[in-house]
């Protein structure tokens, strides 16, 4: 998310929809009437810019007065799907609410589509988890004859095999792969470094891509050390990884709400189910507190209860 901030003021906006003049007036409103700091104003404009980019990509650039409550809800669902956390979603929604209040105040629109939308819950929810068989089926279904086949297979293998966040996946550097030792050096949240083991089979698949298909891409100088590249020789975006995962799940008949983060959840859950030490899992995931990791024990409990209610005669429904 932070990577978008530098480009916010240069990003294209709606014309009436939202032209540069309207944007400048909104910034003046934030400064003079709400007495916000420069950093806060940049953050609010960033939120509107992110929504504008979503509209352009998903909704054919519809006008602001045509945006409905459903459009806003679909945008929030999109943020969830690309692994934007609940607290960040709440902040972005707050920015949109402020913008629409301004539009209403200036009589630019007649109704506020954000008025009845509540902020995403910051409570703890059990995340979606794939079975090992489902993940294996997805990996095996990837067509290696396609240009990005080896890359996509390596991505899924590393996300699941090492429990990576999508941000860690797309910023993974070749120089941070310790092949002989079987470790990846990762830069996680808060620029914290950690070492994560990687299995021999995952390493083999990863280097089949690095020493094979990746060599066919003309790499931009800035991305010479980046592992996963698009066809233009640049690093992948979170959205691109999300779309790849969604398409792969769909092609394998998986109808649940799957995202790149699902592989991280599955990694942790399968470790806990297999009897792994909670503190070891915490370290591999890069969680600051073991209480965050404990959610995966609850997932395992839920799976056990589902098994009991499905197969035990005293729990079966008549």
Catalytic residue numbers, as ranges = 165, 189, 261, 264, 287, 296
As beta bridge partners, residue 186 has 194
Helical ranges in 113-165 per DSSP H = 132-141, 149-162
Residue 241: CB atoms within 10 Å: 23
With CA atoms as reference, report the closest residue to 76 among 118, 19, 128.
Answer: 118
Cβ 135 vs Cβ 263: under 8 Å: yes
Burial degree of 6 (CB within 10 A; 0-12, 13-18, 19+): exposed
As beta bridge partners, residue 240 has none
Quick one: DSSP state of residue 195?
E
Q: How far is CA 151 from CA 78, 169, 205, 239, 249, in A?
A: 24, 12, 9, 16, 16
């Amino acid at each position: 998310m932070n990577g978008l901030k530098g480009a916010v003021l240069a990003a294209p906006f709606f014309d009436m929809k939202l032209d540069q003049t309207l944007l400048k007036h909104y910034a003046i409103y934030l400064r003079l009437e709400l007495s916000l700091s420069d950093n806060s104003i940049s953050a609010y404009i960033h939120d509107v810019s992110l929504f504008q980019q979503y509209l352009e990509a998903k909704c054919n650039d519809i006008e602001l007065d045509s945006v409905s409550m459903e459009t806003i809800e679909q945008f929030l669902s999109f943020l969830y799907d690309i692994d934007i956390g609940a607290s960040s979603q709440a902040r972005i929604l707050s920015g949109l609410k402020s913008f629409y209040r301004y539009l209403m105040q200036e009589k630019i629109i007649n109704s506020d589509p954000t008025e009845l939308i509540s902020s995403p819950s910051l409570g703890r929810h059990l995340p979606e988890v794939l079975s090992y068989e489902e993940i294996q089926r997805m990996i095996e279904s990837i067509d290696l004859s396609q240009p990005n086949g080896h890359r996509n297979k390596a991505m899924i293998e590393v996300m699941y095999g090492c429990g990576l966040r999508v941000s860690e996946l797309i910023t993974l550097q070749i120089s941070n792969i310790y092949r002989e030792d079987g470790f990846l050096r990762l830069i996680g949240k808060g620029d914290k470094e950690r070492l994560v083991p990687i299995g021999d089979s995952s390493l083999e698949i990863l280097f089949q891509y690095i020493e094979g298909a990746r060599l066919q891409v003309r790499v931009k100088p800035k991305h010479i050390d980046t592992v996963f590249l698009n066809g233009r020789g640049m690093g992948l975006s979170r959205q691109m990884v999300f779309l790849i995962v969604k398409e792969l799940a769909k092609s394998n008949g998986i109808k649940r709400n799957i995202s790149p983060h699902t592989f991280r959840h599955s990694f942790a859950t399968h470790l806990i189910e297999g009897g792994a030490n909670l503190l070891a899992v915490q370290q591999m995931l890069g969680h600051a507190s073991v209480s965050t990791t404990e959610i995966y024990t609850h997932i395992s409990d839920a799976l056990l209860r589902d098994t009991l209610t499905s197969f035990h005669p005293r729990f079966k429904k008549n």
